[in-house]
Chain A
Amino acid sequence: NAGVTQTPKFQVLKTGQSMTLQCAQDMNHNSMYWYRQDPGMGLRLIYYSASEGTTDKGEVPNGYNVSRLNKREFSLRLESAAPSQTSVYFCASNSGQAPRNEQFFGPGTRLTVL
């Protein structure tokens, strides 16, 4: 099992460019999440998908779009990147099964917008 995988690991964009961050999980989990992590701000939820075919906004959705392509894959798109979107992005998944309500995280994508 690879768990949660993310591509790319690093990316540098210019303001106004677009890109898609890819995430896949092989644990047959229903829920998937996109977070951003900034110094002093902790993990903030951008979007989540409780099940295949559904997506909902989190705390900081502006400037992002998501697609739950199938049960395994959940992508995050930046249509027109801004310097404020410089951050580390984490994807996570959750089975929602007892005994632990555990979210499994990917290794992260470090994005710099110039």
Chain B
Amino acid sequence: QKEVEQDPGPLSVPEGAIVSLNCTYSNSAFQYFMWYRQYSRKGPELLMYTYSSGNKEDGRFTAQVDKSSKYISLFIRDSQPSDSATYLCAMSANFGNEKLTFGTGTRLTIIP
């Protein structure tokens, strides 16, 4: 079993819809949780970063962490065609120069 599980999709939704992306994990030591966005033929870029449990909002994006269930989510409100990308969750146990464990990524397409 992988340490981090992520539904690979693909996921297609109409423009303006709310998108929910999820990851589950098995390592209870993970404390730092990230979402990276990767456009086609580009390197990943950090989108959201959260520590421990709770919610974090940044514009149309909300990241949620439920450590008791070992479950993290990324919500995208009012989705736009420019949100079409692959979204990878990532997590680590410690801060600093630390290795990250990535999910496999979910490919999202927003249909105009």
Interface residues of A (CB under 8 A from B): 4, 30-31, 33, 40-45, 48, 50-51, 58, 90, 92, 94, 96, 98-103, 105-108
Contact = CB atoms under 8 A, between A and B. Distances in A.
A106 B43 CA distance: 6
A82 B41 CA distance: 23
12 contacts: A33-B99, A42-B105, A43-B44, A43-B88, A44-B102, A58-B99, A98-B95, A100-B49, A101-B34, A101-B95, A102-B34, A108-B43
A54 to B, nearest CB: 10
Q: How big is chain B's contact interface, by range?
A: 20 to 34
Interface of B: 6, 8, 32, 34, 41-46, 49, 88, 92, 95-100, 102-105
Contacts of B97: 30-31, 50-51, 94, 96
B41 A108 contact: yes
Contacts of B6: 42
